[in-house]
Amino acid sequence: MNVITAFISYLCYRIMLRFSKLIARTLSVRISLMIVFSMAILLMASLAVMLYHSRKAVKEEATQKASQTLEGATQRIDNVLLSVEQATGNVFFNMLPHLNDPEMLFTYSRKLVESNHYIAGCAIAFKPDYFKDRKYFMAYVHRGDSAGKAYADSELVTDEFFGHRRYTEQDWYKKPMTSSMAGWLNPNTSEEAQLEPIITFCLPISAKGGEPVGVLGVDISLSLLSRIVEEAKPSANSHCTLLDKEGAFIVHPNNNRLLGKNALTLSDASAQEAAQAMISGKTGYKPFRLNGKDYYVFYKPFKRTAIPGRLIEDLGWSVGMIYPEDDIFGDYKKLTYYVIAIALFGLLLMYLLCRYIIHQQLLPLVMLTEKAQLIAKGNYNVHIPESQQVDEIGRLQDNFRQMQHSLANHIGELEALKTKLQEHGEKLQAAYKQARKADRMKTAFLHNMTNQMIAPAEAIYKDVHELSDGESPDMISLTNDIVIKGNAIANLLDNLIIVSDEDFVKGGGS
């Protein structure tokens, strides 16, 4: 595996190296990349703005759907509660004249369960020793096994006990007896031994003096309530949930969550934070992560509808819509991937088109580059065609063509001038040789002449001295004049000898 990874890395390195060299030496590639890069910046900025507003619109739409769904779910749940409250109130007032008839209490308990298919069970319990012949009394009717039947058609079972503890120790009985107030009990305070999670509506039964003597308790199955609300969901994977003020589940599609589970004890900290925000009594939404998946919960307080004669108590419940992030942003993410893929494909196609068009436009420059290389090597007569383009490149080609013609003409003129200069040089060199030859001949002549004139000059000098020995004045004057002029001639001969000797030496003695 390491060898394959190393090979792939090396291959990518070689490709990038070749591509960088291609970019460095190819003008059309650089221009195309600059165009594509500029377009990519503009395109990505546009896509970022579009996707941002699209995501915002999707979130707003999801919030609106969740709000509408929460409102519908709240209304459904409240309708169930109101139906149970009204049915309980009707039976309660009909039962008051028969509080001393135990058999009638069983009848009213059964009648209440039969009259309302939301009710899972009804218990009418009195304080100890209320009936003289029995210490404890409870008329309890509940729905039995509903396997294979509709919930409302399940068999009704009559019992005189409820759970594994005496009813006087259970919260549904103790709280109304203590507070003398009707109300709903949260599921985490209901009987722990129940196989099916329930919530209970408790109505205290008061004697003539106003002191509670018993309790009428009506149970609603939380799983049934969850099934009723389950249809209220904006997407296939979303679901509605209802929490009490302690974080216990009242409504949830998973029945296991209804059996004493609490949202504040979920495994993920973000889910616990979302549950805490949900039971805070505020309206809003919060992202969270559970079991490796991302969700959004849109929540609001559970508000009951105000109806004349209805006791409106603050239950402290919160209703929430659990929305998987994929259900909200799934199509948005797909669209994002499609848009990015199309954008990348478009940029690649734009690069190829720009590369082709720019390459075609730069072909004259490529041709001129090749011609310039030939000219640089000395081939000044290369053929440069006349351009068919009228843009800058066309004008450049035409100007380069004219420059090449001018350069060829100048080179031709220089070659002709060079030839002429060579010819003149050869002639001058020949003339120079002739002049040197004549100069040497002159020097030799002078040398020979001066050498030959020395002996006669000396002889004349001696004869003059001999004549000067005469005593005739005329003779002495004549000899003196001859001596002076002879010395002048001798000096001239000496100078000629010196010059001829020097030229003779310079001329090589020839």
Averaged confidence pLDDT in the chain: 78
Parallel, antiparallel, or unpaired: how do β-strands 284-290 and 198-206 relate? unpaired
Q: What are phi and psi of 207, to 5 degrees?
A: -80, -175
- φ, ψ (nearest 5 deg) of residue 314: -85, 105
Q: What value does the mean pLDDT take over residues 449-461?
A: 69
Highest-pLDDT range among 58-72, 248-262, 492-506: 58-72
3 state DSSP class of 99? coil
- Model confidence at 190: pLDDT above 50: no
CA–CA–CA angle 447, 450, 451 (5° rounding): 80
Q: Which residue has the higher pLDDT, 510 or 473?
A: 473
Amino acid, res. 197: P
The secondary structure of residue 383, as a DSSP letter, is: -
Closest CA to 242 of 199, 201, 202, 200: 199
What pLDDT does 430 receive?
Answer: 86
Report, as an integer, the average pLDDT of 433-451. 75
Four-point Cα dihedral 330, 273, 226, 91, nearest 10: -150
Least confident of 159-168, 194-203, 468-477: 468-477
Cα(7)–Cα(4) distance, rounded to whole angstroms? 5
Mean pLDDT lowest among 42-51, 218-227, 351-360, 492-501: 492-501
Q: At residue 163, does pLDDT exceed 70?
A: no
Assign 32 a pLDDT band (cuts: 50, 70, 90): confident
pLDDT at 361 > cutoff 70? yes
| Percentage with pLDDT > 70 across the chain | 79
Q: How confident is the model at residue 19 (pLDDT cuts 50, 70, 90)?
A: low
298, pLDDT greater than 80: yes
296 within 8 A of 286, measured Cβ to Cβ: yes
- Which of the four pLDDT bands, split at 50, 70 and 90, describes residue 1? low
The full length of the chain comes to 510
Closest CA to 163 of 118, 211, 208, 196: 196
- The predicted-structure confidence for 231-289, as pLDDT tens digits, reads as follows 777 777 888 888 888 888 888 877 777 666 778 878 788 888 888 888 888 888 888 88
Say which amino acid occupies 43: L
pLDDT at res. 193: 42
pLDDT of residue 289: 86
pLDDT at 504: 56
Q: Give DSSP secondary structure letters for 335-359.
A: HHHHHHHHHHHHHHHHHHHHHHHHH
Mean pLDDT across 418-424: 88
Q: Is 195 exposed, middle or buried (0-12, 13-18, 19+ CB in 10 A)?
A: exposed
Most confident of 36-40, 296-300, 387-391, 407-411: 296-300
Alpha-carbon gap, residue 265 to 272, rounded angstroms: 7
Is residue 501 over pLDDT 70? no
Residue listed under structure tokens 């040398």? 447
Share of the chain above pLDDT 90, in %: 1
pLDDT at site 192: 45
C-beta of residue 27 within 8 angstroms of C-beta of residue 366 = no
